[in-house]
Chains A and B, each alone.
Chain A
Amino acid sequence: MINGALYVREMKKSIKLIVILLAVITMYVAIIISMYEPKMAKLLDDYVKMMPQLMASVGMTGGATSLLGFMCSYLYGFILIVFPMIFCIIRANGLVAKYIDNSSMVSLLCAPVKRFTVAFTQMAVLMSGIVILIVYTTILEIICAQYFFPGELDIAKLLVLNTGLLGLELFIGAICFFASCIFSEVKYSIALGAGLPTLMFVIQMLANVGDKAKNAKYFTFFTLYDSTGIIENEAGALIGTIVLFAGAIVLYTASVTAFCKRDICL
């Protein structure tokens, strides 16, 4: 199912990007969590009062009463969604479409390795990167929380919250990977793979602002990931997570199947 040599090569290519993203995530997570003290939290909440729409667009609504609620508001609306999304967009495109576009896919198909194995390996590389990002973030959050505010963090709920995030990012990765598998040219692969998630995210930001734009939330899959709903055990939020995972499975299956059946002009 997985070709070891290809997996190792691609993971090496992922590593640089992963390290950069982890560095950025580490900085944000550490800073935001350390700000959960009454004085600093008040400062952030003041920002929210000052520019409510701008802050709301990136999910920052203020007035959180628990550490996890505070994290939901200031980390899970923008930072933790966008950085893994950047990874998905860049890597998914580089794993298949780029190789077809620049013909180096020849090297992969001129070998006794099934197309299915090639596609499955590339998919595994993408998923591995996403899992590394989310698992690292989870551990980092626990360490930071325990360091700054021992005993404040509801770890069980954090795990559920990040499982949901994993579902969301796997789903975004699946969209990018699907685009990468069906197009022969990078420009189309990027147009769909980067364009669709970005557009959806912009719609989500609009919907977050509320009021008249509120109905926009029905036009974006980001609505399926409701971080506040998850920590409050809302059934809708849990169903959303399940839908994301199911959607990811469907899209990955479709991607691999499309790659196996398509004509590849090299």
Chain B
Amino acid sequence: MTKNNNISTIEIKSLTRDYGNGRGVFDVSFNVKKGEVFGFLGPNGAGKTTTIRHLMGFLKAQSGECRIGGLDCWSSSAKIQNILGYVPGEISFFDDMTGEAYLRFVKNYRGIKDTERKDELLEYFELDTRGKIKKMSKGTKQKLGLVAAMMHDPEILIFDEPTSGLDPLMQSRFIDLVAKEKERGKTILLSSHMFEEVERTCDRIGIIREGRLVALDFVEDLRKRHVNTYTVTLGSAKEAEAFAKDFRGEVSGCNVTVSAKQSLEEIFMNYYGGTND
């Protein structure tokens, strides 16, 4: 197999893992190019996490293969981790440690010399690392997970439902972070069950449903297809402004443009027509 001119950083080829009873992932293939933000979208239990576990080298593919940076995700998993940062949806650390002790442990465990990036991230998230991890709130834990996963400044980032359980403020802060990392040329795989979230951050989206990849498209195209836009004319500019505020529209004079976003289920319905069971 030649790897010439291959600019894909994450490659998944015909990945299959059958857990029985129709659960698992079946013949999933997609690539994430260098510098791209890829949204991996699907409802709970669709196979997002299973796919990511293969990328992380936690699971061995039954058939097909996964590669990151040209290396096999199962046999070279440790090597890949040098350029990879991973934040799982449900983070659990060594609960007995304080945040500070945990970050120190990760630094020594990974053999990171430079702590500059860590300090930057701590500042960015305004994270207080002093308390015991056990006593931290979900949001604080999530921040700690982000710092721990990114303190070696990896080339590739994998986020598995990173904002589930976060408040809106933290969510938008996270989305800003993704944008910043993208600017810095990082490759990002972001899994989510919320269309809005990936829509705001990603270049390309793959939709997985019942273990099969059902759509793979640029976010612009998906938006065109699934977001309906309406222009409403109101009585006065004042009313228009209030309307725009309430419905998150864009004002121009007395006209307000609003978009109706479809839920993921509705998008699926679009992909399947009436065949959705």
A103 engages B57 (CB within 8 Å): no
Question: What's the Cα separation between A204 and B158 when bound, in Å?
Answer: 53
Task: Please choose the segment from B85-93, B177-185, B242-250, B264-272 that sits at the chain A interface, where 4 or more of its residues have CB less than 8 A away.
Answer: B85-93
Known: A103-B92, A104-B93. A113 touches B110 (CB 8 A): yes
A110 engages B78 (CB within 8 Å): no
B81 engages A110 (CB within 8 Å): yes
Residues on A with beta carbons closer than 8 Å to the beta carbon of B34: none
B261 at the A/B interface (Cβ < 8 Å)?
A: no
Question: What's the Cα separation between A110 and B85 when bound, in Å?
Answer: 8
A contact face: mostly helix, strand, loop, or mixed: loop
Residues on B with beta carbons closer than 8 Å to the beta carbon of A112: 78-79, 81-82, 110-111
Residues on A with beta carbons closer than 8 Å to the beta carbon of B53: 265-266
Shortest CB-to-CB span from B83 to chain A, Å, is: 9
**Nearest-neighbor residue (CB-CB) of A262 within chain B:** B60
CB < 8 Å: which of A4, A102, A115 contacts B78? A115
B94 engages A104 (CB within 8 Å): yes
Shortest CB-to-CB span from A105 to chain B, Å, is: 9
A40 at the A/B interface (Cβ < 8 Å)?
A: no
B92 engages A265 (CB within 8 Å): no
B56 at the A/B interface (Cβ < 8 Å)?
A: yes
Total interface residues in chain A, CB < 8 Å:
24
**Nearest-neighbor residue (CB-CB) of B88 within chain A:** A106
Residues on B with beta carbons closer than 8 Å to the beta carbon of A263: 58-60
Question: What's the Cα separation between A102 and B92 when bound, in Å?
Answer: 7
Interface residues in A1-57 (C-beta closer than 8 Å to B): 3-6, 9, 13
Residues on B with beta carbons closer than 8 Å to the beta carbon of A111: 78, 81, 106, 109-110
B149 at the A/B interface (Cβ < 8 Å)?
A: yes
Interface residues in A93-141 (C-beta closer than 8 Å to B): 102-104, 106-115, 117
Question: What's the Cα separation between A3 and B86 when bound, in Å?
Answer: 20
Residues on A with beta carbons closer than 8 Å to the beta carbon of B230: none
A264 engages B59 (CB within 8 Å): yes
B219 at the A/B interface (Cβ < 8 Å)?
A: no
B86 engages A110 (CB within 8 Å): yes
Question: What's the Cα separation between A36 and B95 when bound, in Å?
Answer: 47
CB < 8 Å: which of A5, A113, A114 contacts B105? A5
Question: What's the Cα separation between A4 and B84 when bound, in Å?
Answer: 22
Tell me the A residues contacting B by CB distance below 8 Å: 3-6, 9, 13, 102-104, 106-115, 117, 263-266
Residues on A with beta carbons closer than 8 Å to the beta carbon of B105: 5, 9
9 A-B pairs closest in CB distance = A5-B108, A5-B109, A103-B92, A112-B81, A114-B78, A112-B82, A111-B110, A263-B59, A264-B58
Shortest CB-to-CB span from B100 to chain A, Å, is: 14
Residues on A with beta carbons closer than 8 Å to the beta carbon of B110: 111-113
Known: A103-B92, A104-B94, A266-B88. A113 touches B109 (CB 8 A): yes
Shortest CB-to-CB span from B144 to chain A, Å, is: 11
B148 at the A/B interface (Cβ < 8 Å)?
A: yes
Residues on B with beta carbons closer than 8 Å to the beta carbon of A266: 53, 58, 88
- The residue in A106, A113, A117, A266 that gathers the most chain B C-beta atoms within 10 A of its C-beta is A106
Known: A111-B81, A112-B79. A106 touches B108 (CB 8 A): no
Question: What's the Cα separation between A195 and B110 when bound, in Å?
Answer: 36
**Nearest-neighbor residue (CB-CB) of B92 within chain A:** A103
Residues on B with beta carbons closer than 8 Å to the beta carbon of A114: 78
Residues on A with beta carbons closer than 8 Å to the beta carbon of B148: 107
Shortest CB-to-CB span from B243 to chain A, Å, is: 46
CB < 8 Å: which of B59, B86, B106 contacts A265? B59
Question: What's the Cα separation between A113 and B105 when bound, in Å?
Answer: 13
Question: What's the Cα separation between A115 and B60 when bound, in Å?
Answer: 13
Besides the known contacts A107-B94, A114-B78, 18 further A-B residue pairs in the complex with CB atoms under 8 A apart: A3-B109, A4-B108, A5-B108, A102-B95, A104-B92, A104-B95, A106-B92, A107-B148, A108-B109, A110-B84, A110-B85, A111-B110, A112-B78, A112-B81, A113-B109, A117-B78, A263-B58, A263-B60
Question: What's the Cα separation between A108 and B105 when bound, in Å?
Answer: 10
Shortest CB-to-CB span from A262 to chain B, Å, is: 9
Question: What's the Cα separation between A231 and B82 when bound, in Å?
Answer: 54
Question: What's the Cα separation between A113 and B78 when bound, in Å?
Answer: 5
Residues on B with beta carbons closer than 8 Å to the beta carbon of A4: 108
- Mind listing 26 A-B residue pairs with CB under 8 Å? A5-B105, A5-B109, A9-B105, A102-B92, A103-B90, A106-B88, A106-B91, A107-B148, A108-B109, A109-B56, A110-B56, A110-B81, A110-B85, A110-B149, A111-B81, A111-B109, A112-B81, A112-B110, A113-B78, A114-B78, A115-B77, A117-B78, A263-B59, A263-B60, A265-B53, A266-B58
